[in-house]
Structure 1
Amino acid sequence: MDFADVTLTALRVFRAVAEHGTLTAAATRLGYTQSAVSRQIASLERAAGTPLLERRRDGVRLTPAGHLVLRRATTVIDGIDATARELAGLPAQAGTVRLGWFPSAGAALVPQAIATLRTTDPAITVTTREGSTPALVRALRAGSIDLALLGSAPPFRAPDTETPALTLHTLTERPLHIAVAAGHALARGEFIDVTELRGQRWITGPASGEDRLMGVWPGLDEKPDIAHTARDWLAKLHLVAAGCGITTAPATLAPAAPPGVRILPVRGGPQEQRRLLLAHLPNPLSEPATRVAEVLRTTALETEQH
C-alpha cells in the first residue's frame, strides 16, 4: 500500500464516482472520458492495494476500504479547496452551507427558508442542488453537500444501509394529495373519494433505476392510463391546469400550484403518508449548517399549519 503517488485528480474522480453512482455519470460531471475515469480509479486501487469499488450492473458500490478512502479524500479535497480560497482572498467556507433537495421540496420550502435566512442571517450563503433521494444520499456520503431534504414513503426505511447511519429529522408527515384542474369533475368537492380515481388519465414522472413512478396513486387497483410524463413538478401541475390529466402531489405544493389547479386530499382506503426528512452525516454540524437546519424546521412547521 503506497499513497505517495496518489494525485488530487484521482481523489476528485473517486469522490465524483462515489457521489454519482456510476463511472459514466462521474465522467459526464467532470468532463472526462469514461476511460480516463477508469484509469484514475485503477491507479487509486493499486495504491490502496485493495478494491475500492464493487462493480454491479446498476453502477458501483463502495467497499469498506472505499468508504475509508472516501472519508480521507473528502478531508483532503476540502482542505485544499479552503486553502485555495484563502490564498485568493475569498470568504471562508465556514459561512457557506450546501443544501440538496428532492424536487417537490424546492417548490415552496427551500425558497421560503432561503428568503428567511437572507433577512435573519445575511452572513450565511446557501448553495443548493436538486436531486433524487438516492443521489442526494450519495452526495452526503461523498461530502459534496452538508444537508439534504429527502422524501420518504412507507414503510419509512432508512434511505441507505451504509454505516455510520445518517442522522434523520422528520420535518413533516402528511398524506399524499391529488392535483386536479379546477374544472375537472373531481374538483367539485373538498376531497376526492379513492374510488373516483379509477379510469382517470395520469401525469407522471419518468421511471428510472432509482426513482419510483411518481404521479399515479400508489393504491390504484388497475393499470394506470398514463397520458403524459414530466420530471419537473411545475410542468406536471401546468399539464394538470391544461386539463391533460391528474397527478399525485404533496400538500406542501399547494402554495406553488398555478392558477386553475386544486390540490385535494383523498378519502377512503389507507392513507398514503409521505415524510419530509432533513438528513446529514452523524457529525457535529457547523454553526451555519445548524442555523440553516433550524430555519428549515421552522419553515416546514409553518407550511404544515397552513
Structure 2
Amino acid sequence: MDFTEVSLTALRVLRAVAEQGTFTAAAAELGYTQSAVSRQIASIERLAGAPLLERRRGGVRLTPAGRIVLRRAAVVLDEIDAAARELSGLPARAGTVHLGWFPSAGAVLLPRALTALRRTDPAITVVTREGTTPALVRALRAGRVDLALLASAPPFRPLDAETPALAVRTLTERSLRLAVPAGHPLAHRDFVDVADLRGQRWITAPSAGEDQLMGVWPGLDERPEIAHTARDWLAKLHLVAAGLGITTVPGALAPAAPEGVRILPVRGGPQELRRVLLARAPGPLTEPVARVARALRTAAIELDTAP
C-alpha cells in the first residue's frame, strides 16, 4: 500500500461524496458520470487499504478510516487552492471562515452578526452558503464549512450518527409562530387557538423527504388545503401579506415580516419549539472561527432580549 500515489481528483471526489451524501449528487456537482465517481472512490479505497465509505439505503457515510482520510484531504485541498490563488495573483484568504446557514437564519440573525463582525473584525472574511440542515451537517463533516447555523425541532435528536459528535451550541429556542394577513379575522387577536386553524388555506414549502420545510401547523388534525407553495421565506411572507393564505414561521423570523403581516403565537396544543443551533466539527478552533462564532452568539442574545 502506497497512499502517496492518491490523486487530487480522488480526494476531491471523496470530499464531494461525503458532502452530498450520494454518488449521484456528487457526480452532478463535479460534472462527472456516476461511474467515474465510483472509479475514483474505488482507487482511493484501494490505496488506503480499507473502505472509506459505508454504503447504506439512501446514501453513504464515512467510515472511521474515511473520516481520517477526509480530515487530512481537506488540509491538502485547501493548500492547493491557496497556491492556485497565489500563483494567479489573487490575494490570499487569510482569516477566511466558511459559514453555512439554513434559509430563515439569513433573514435576521446572519446579517446582524456579519454587520457587527465587519465593525469589530474587518480583517476576517466570511464566505457563506445557504443549505438545508442535513446538507450543512454533511458539509461540516466534509470540511467544506467551518461553522453552520442549523434548525432543530423536537425531539431534538443528534444531528447525525457519526463519531466523534459535532460540537453544538443552542443559540435560540423559540415557539413556532403563525403568520396571518393583517386583514384576516385571526389577526385581530393576541394569539390564535389551535382549533381555529381548521379550514384555513396554507402557504407552505414543497416537501423533499428529510429536507421538508415548514408551512402547515404541525399535527393539524385534517388534510390541509395548500393554496401556494414556495421555498423562499420572504416569498411566503409576501404571499401572506397579499391575503393569499397563512403560514408558520420560526419566532426568530418575526422581525423580518413585511408590512401587512401579523406574527402570532398559537395556543391550545403541544408547544412547538424550534431551536437555532451553531455547529462545528470537533477539535480546536482557529481564532477567526472563534470570533465569527462569538459574533453569532452575541447577535442571537441581542435578538432574544430585543423588545
Q: Is the structural similarity TM-score above 0.5?
A: yes
What CA distance in whole angstroms lies between the structure 2 residues aligned with 1:295 and 1:274? 21
What CA distance in whole angstroms lies between the structure 2 residues aligned with 1:166 and 1:251? 25
- 2:224 equivalent in structure 1: 224
- 1:96 equivalent in structure 2: 96
What CA distance in whole angstroms lies between the structure 1 residues aligned with 2:88 and 2:289? 24
CA contact (8 A) 1:109 1:299 kept: yes
Q: Name the amino acid aligned to 2:23.
A: L
Write out per-residue CA displacement over residues 54-87 of structure 1, whole angstroms, 9 at most, x where no aligned residue.
2333122222222222122112212322343445
Q: Name the amino acid aligned to 2:289.
A: A
Write out per-residue CA displacement over residues 221-254 of structure 1, whole angstroms, 9 at most, x where no aligned residue.
2222222221111111111112221111012112
**Offset at residue 88 of structure 1 (A):** 4.7
CA contact (8 A) 2:168 2:277 kept: yes
What CA distance in whole angstroms lies between the structure 2 residues aligned with 1:240 and 1:301? 28
What CA distance in whole angstroms lies between the structure 2 residues aligned with 1:158 and 1:106? 23
Larger deviation, residues 72-81 vs 111-120: 72-81
What CA distance in whole angstroms lies between the structure 2 residues aligned with 1:242 and 1:57? 43
Secondary structure of 1:214's partner?
A: coil
Write out per-residue CA displacement over residues 155-182 of structure 1, whole angstroms, 9 at most, x where no aligned residue.
1111111111111111111100001111
Pairing 1:20–2:48 present = no
Q: Name the amino acid aligned to 1:100.
A: G
**Offset at residue 23 of structure 1 (A):** 1.5
Q: Name the amino acid aligned to 1:270.
A: P
- 2:295 equivalent in structure 1: 295
What CA distance in whole angstroms lies between the structure 1 residues aligned with 2:208 and 2:150? 17
**Offset at residue 270 of structure 1 (A):** 1.6
| Structure 2 unaligned spans of 5+ | none
Q: How many residues align?
A: 306
What CA distance in whole angstroms lies between the structure 2 residues aligned with 1:216 and 1:119? 39
**Offset at residue 121 of structure 1 (A):** 1.3
Pairing 1:32–2:48 present = no
Larger deviation, residues 127-136 vs 33-42: 33-42
**Offset at residue 98 of structure 1 (A):** 0.6
Larger deviation, residues 39-48 vs 16-25: 39-48
Write out per-residue CA displacement over residues 261-280 of structure 1, whole angstroms, 9 at most, x where no aligned residue.
11111112221011111011
Secondary structure of 2:210's partner?
A: coil
CA contact (8 A) 1:94 1:286 kept: no
| Structure 1 unaligned spans of 5+ | none
What CA distance in whole angstroms lies between the structure 2 residues aligned with 1:63 and 1:97? 27
Q: Name the amino acid aligned to 1:265.
A: P
Aligned Cα RMSD in Å? 1.6
CA contact (8 A) 1:94 1:288 kept: no
In the TM superposition, 1:1-306 aligns within 5 A as 1-88=1-88, 90-306=90-306
Larger deviation, residues 180-189 vs 43-52: 43-52
CA contact (8 A) 2:97 2:146 kept: yes
What CA distance in whole angstroms lies between the structure 2 residues aligned with 1:287 and 1:90? 23
Secondary structure of 2:99's partner?
A: strand
What CA distance in whole angstroms lies between the structure 2 residues aligned with 1:59 and 1:139? 15
CA contact (8 A) 1:206 1:214 kept: no
Q: Name the amino acid aligned to 1:194.
A: V
